[in-house]
Amino acid sequence: MANNWEYDYADLYRQSPMASGLPTQSVTPPPAPEPKKHKGGVVKKLLGNLLMLVLCAAVGFGGGYLGGQTSLRNAPAPAPAATNTPAPPANSGSTGSANSGNGLAAAGSGSADFVNVSAKVSPSVVVVTTEQVTTNGYWGQYVESGAGSGVVLREDGTIITNHHVVNGASSIKVTLSTGEEYPATVLGGDSRSDIAVIKIDASGLTPATIGDSDSLSVGQNVLAVGNPMGVLGGTVTNGIISALDRQINVDGTMMTLIQTNAAISPGNSGGGLFNESGELVGIVNAKSNGENAEGLGFAIPINDAIAAANDLIDTGYVTGRPALGITVITILDAQTAAQYNVSVPGVYIQDVNEGGAADLAGLEPGDRFISVEDQLIETSSDLTNLLSTYQVGDTVTVQISRDRQLLTFDVTLGEMAG
């Protein structure tokens, strides 16, 4: 049978005549009185002993080599050479200082100490529960409950959340991380930014440290803190910034959002997205509802959210938004068309604000939009999203249909006041 040794030691065994099967020669020892023959016999005996030693050594060497080679093939990889670096404490866990060598690096270096960051930011995130009176043709009036999250902006009880969390609520309750509960009132809300500001009668709260969403990078570590499923307040999930400046259509409104793979669930809305330093960089507001989609969560950049929140606190509405000064309706089906006595689907002007941009330009109720700046208008969202790309004071060209005639107007955009 063939062997896998590097060298073949078979010839070592053939050094012994006994092993080779060759005939041996019998030698009669000379008589004791003859000194020369006695001397020769001693030499032969010594040579024989030496030969046996060589044979044993050869056999031992061959067996040892075979065993050594087999052990080498089966042995695990050698451990790294020991260094003088002291071992970490047994209870060090998965965190450590930036300079520990085996811990997580400091903020901004691609890793984060999630334990310390969680402890820092959790007191700033609250649970928001709502009740809303709903009327249904079958059930009549009933109270519908909802839940979301919020982030403390000021120690006086001013809290930022999503507009869709508190919109239409008849009562709002805030639960702090300590378990204390307070009733809340709405200071202002804005559907386009999906930002609302609520207030509780409390003091000494822990406001979040506001970060800079313009300085975020794809791949950066983040934590999402909120109230998933409406019953798990204070839940912390981690992930990374998956993408920036995502154009996402949320309930008909185009929004520019941060994408993250941190686990986001219903109830997280209004909660915080924090960076590695514990700074608030986003307000969580959406997740993918696709059955096969995982790790697709979105947040409003904090720079946009804070600007909207400050306007809501100061004026009750978000300032600087261009507006035509009209109310519109989108007609898509025959039933609605018959109700409004029109035959062509599209976006129609219902009301014109007196003294507003459309009124000054000559637009009238009943006009149907064809285009704005050569962009077709088929839904009210088309109109809203297009206008959001302009500034107050810009002049846009509007084409409408009136009494089966195409008319063109130049409209100088005013400011939306609410």
Q: Which residues pair with 280 in a beta bridge?
A: 210, 274
73 — phi, psi (to 5°)? -70, -30
The answer to whether 321 touches 297, Cβ cutoff 8 Å, is: no
Within the chain, what is the greatest distance between any pair of CA atoms?
A: 152
Nearest CA-CA partner of 275 in 303, 241, 246, 252: 241
- Residue 372 exposed, middle or buried by CB count within 10 Å (0-12, 13-18, 19+): buried
Alpha helices (H) along 122-172? 163-166
Active site residues: 164, 194, 269
Q: What angle do CA 23, 28, 33 make, to 5 degrees?
A: 160
b/e 89-123 (16+ beta carbons within 10 angstroms → b): eeeeeeebeeeeeebbbebeeeebbbeebbebbbb
DSSP summary character for residue 253:
E
CA distances from 19 to 5, 24, 313, 330 (A): 21, 11, 104, 106
Half-sphere exposure of 403 (CA within 13 A, CB side): 2
